[in-house]
Amino acid sequence: DVKVTQSSRYLVKRTGEKVFLECVQDMDHENMFWYRQDPGLGLRLIYFSYDVKMKEKGDIPEGYSVSREKKERFSLILESASTNQTSMYLCAIGPPGGVFRGYTFGSGTRLTVV
C-alpha cells in the first residue's frame, strides 16, 4: 500500500505569509489531490495533478496554487495566507486504475492563520 506523508501535522502562520504544505508518496502513483476539510462542509477539492507538471483546478482553487516537479511530491501553496484559509488540509493519492481502488489519504495538516 502507498504511504502518504504530509510534512506538518500542525502549522500556525500569520496573515499575509506565503505557506507551503507538502505531500509525499512512497510509490509512483500519478494522481494526487489536495482537499480542505471544514466542519459541516465535508471535503472540498482545491487542486489535483495527474502527472508531473500537470495540474487542474478543483472546486475552490482561489487563493491557492500547486507545484508538482517530481512525481512523488505535490505541494500546496498559499500565496498570501488569510484567516479564512484556517482549515484541515488533506492530501490524497489515487492508485493506478483510478478512483475505483480507493484513495489513500495523508493524516492531514491543521493550519491556523492568525
Partner 1 sequence: AQSVAQPEDQVNVAEGNPLTVKCTYSVSGNPYLFWYVQYPNRGLQFLLKYITGDNLVKGSYGFEAEFNKSQTSFHLKKPSALVSDSALYFCAVSLPGSGNTGKLIFGQGTTLQVKP
Cα(103)–Cα(114) distance, integer angstroms: 32
Cα(69)–Cα(75) distance, integer angstroms: 9
Q: Say whether residue 97 binds partner 1 (CB under 8 A).
A: yes
| Amino acid in the structure at residue 28 | D
Half-sphere exposure of 1 (CA within 13 A, CB side): 9
Which positions from 35 to 64 touch partner 1 by CB under 8 A, shown as an x/- string?
Answer: x---xxxxxxx--x-x-----x-x------
User: What grid cell was written down for 13?
Assistant: 502562520
Q: Say whether residue 108 binds partner 1 (CB under 8 A).
A: yes
**Residue 106 beta carbon to partner 1: minimum distance, rounded to whole angstroms:** 5
Gyration radius (Cα) of the chain, Å: 13
Binding-site size for partner 1 (CB under 8 A) equals: 29
Q: Say whether residue 99 binds partner 1 (CB under 8 A).
A: yes
Q: Say whether residue 106 binds partner 1 (CB under 8 A).
A: yes
Which positions from 21 to 40 touch partner 1 by CB under 8 A, shown as an x/- string?
Answer: ----------x-x-x---xx
